[in-house]
């Protein structure tokens, strides 16, 4: 058996998330279906770096699997892309040792969240950016971003429905907000992310931009460890898993 590492992109709008679910179209389900075709009906289990929710996109998700087939990396890429549906695309294939694990070896991840602030609805970006047509104080948002950087217990800024028991301490290396032509791009780079964490923090940052919170209130909110203190989780359409970083 040889271990294969794949980097992939997918348009999350047509999937019930990454993880396999019976009778639902999922990214992992489609990947395993295509691998099964390549292996004459044999089931090949894939392991992702982590899940993404319904509607969340990826430009740099990473998976691994084991296969008895011996193919050069470029042939794996061509063969898999020929079998996969058009909303999943393998961008890179690498032969790795048995020691590699897509989830356990990931040391950091990068997520982007796109917000469109233009007043009118845009039918073409509705599945790809979050529409928030409101005036925002971007300087205040940028100041607020810095309060999230560092090592914190993110209980207040993650879903209570999390599957993670216990430790909710994570380190965000950088949290930045860039002004784009049609809105804002938020960039999160950290060692790990709790359930809905990027969507909850970004939603909160938009509230800061509207003057509902002051940046200085963030340390107190983090210390409170109480999800109910802040606003709702914003939509999945603006969220992209951009990169999974390994040693």
Active-site amino acid positions: 53
Task: Please identify, among the stretches 87-95, 143-151, 152-160, 210-218, the one whose residues bind its own copies according to the rule CB under 8 A.
Answer: 87-95
Contact 18, 51 (CB under 8 A): yes
Task: Please identify, among the stretches 79-87, 143-151, 174-182, 188-196, the one whose residues bind its own copies according to the rule CB under 8 A.
Answer: 79-87
Which CB atom, from 120 or from 247, has the smaller least distance to its own copies? 120
Per the listing, tokens 């216990």 go with 166
- Where b means 16+ CB within 10 Å and e means fewer, 104-133 reads ebbebbbbbbbbbbeeeeeeebebbbbbbe
| Interactions with its own copies, residue window 34-63 (CB under 8 A) | 57
Asked if 173 touches its own copies (CB under 8 A), the answer is no
Nearest distance in Å: CB 123, its own copies:
4
Which CB atom, from 12 or from 190, has the smaller least distance to its own copies? 12
| Interactions with its own copies, residue window 103-122 (CB under 8 A) | 120-122
| Interactions with its own copies, residue window 183-212 (CB under 8 A) | none
Cα–Cα distance, 49 to 145 (Å, whole number): 25
The long-range contacts involving 77-86, CB below 8 angstroms and separated by at least 24 positions, are 79/38, 80/6, 80/34, 80/35, 80/38, 83/34, 83/37, 83/38, 84/30, 84/31, 84/34, 85/30
Which CB atom, from 57 or from 142, has the smaller least distance to its own copies? 57
Which CB atom, from 75 or from 91, has the smaller least distance to its own copies? 91
Site size for its own copies (CB under 8 A):
17
Which phi and psi angles does 122 have, rounded to 5°? -120, 110
Crossing angle of the two packed helices 138-148 and 197-209, in degrees rounded to 10:
140
Residue of 2, 9, 143, 149 that binds its own copies (CB under 8 A)? 9
Contact 10, 27 (CB under 8 A): yes
Asked if 11 touches its own copies (CB under 8 A), the answer is yes
Interaction site with its own copies (CB under 8 A): 9-11, 57, 81, 86-89, 91, 120-124, 126, 128
């Amino acid at each position: 058996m040889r271990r294969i590492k794949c980097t992939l992109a997918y348009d999350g709008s047509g999937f019930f998330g990454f993880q396999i679910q019976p009778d639902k179209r999922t990214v992992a389900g489609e990947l395993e279906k295509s691998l099964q075709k390549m292996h004459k009906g044999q089931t090949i289990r894939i392991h992702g770096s982590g899940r993404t929710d319904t509607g969340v996109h990826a430009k740099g998700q990473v998976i691994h699997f084991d296969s008895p087939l011996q193919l050069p990396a470029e042939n794996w890429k061509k063969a898999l892309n020929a079998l996969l549906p058009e909303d999943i695309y393998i961008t890179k294939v690498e032969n790795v040792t048995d020691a590699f694990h897509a989830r356990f070896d990931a040391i950091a991840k990068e997520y982007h969240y796109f917000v469109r602030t233009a007043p009118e609805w845009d039918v073409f970006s509705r599945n790809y950016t979050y529409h928030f047509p409101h005036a925002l104080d971007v300087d205040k948002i940028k100041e607020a971003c810095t309060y999230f950087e560092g090592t914190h217990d993110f209980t207040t800024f993650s879903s209570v429905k999390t599957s993670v028991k216990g430790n909710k301490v994570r380190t965000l290396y950088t949290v930045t907000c860039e002004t784009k032509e049609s809105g804002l791009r938020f960039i999160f780079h950290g060692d790990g992310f709790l359930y809905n964490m990027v969507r909850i923090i970004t939603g909160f940052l938009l509230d800061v931009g509207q003057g509902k919170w002051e940046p200085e209130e963030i340390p107190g909110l983090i210390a409170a460890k109480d999800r109910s203190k802040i606003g709702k989780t914003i939509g999945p359409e603006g969220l992209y898993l951009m990169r999974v970083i390994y040693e």
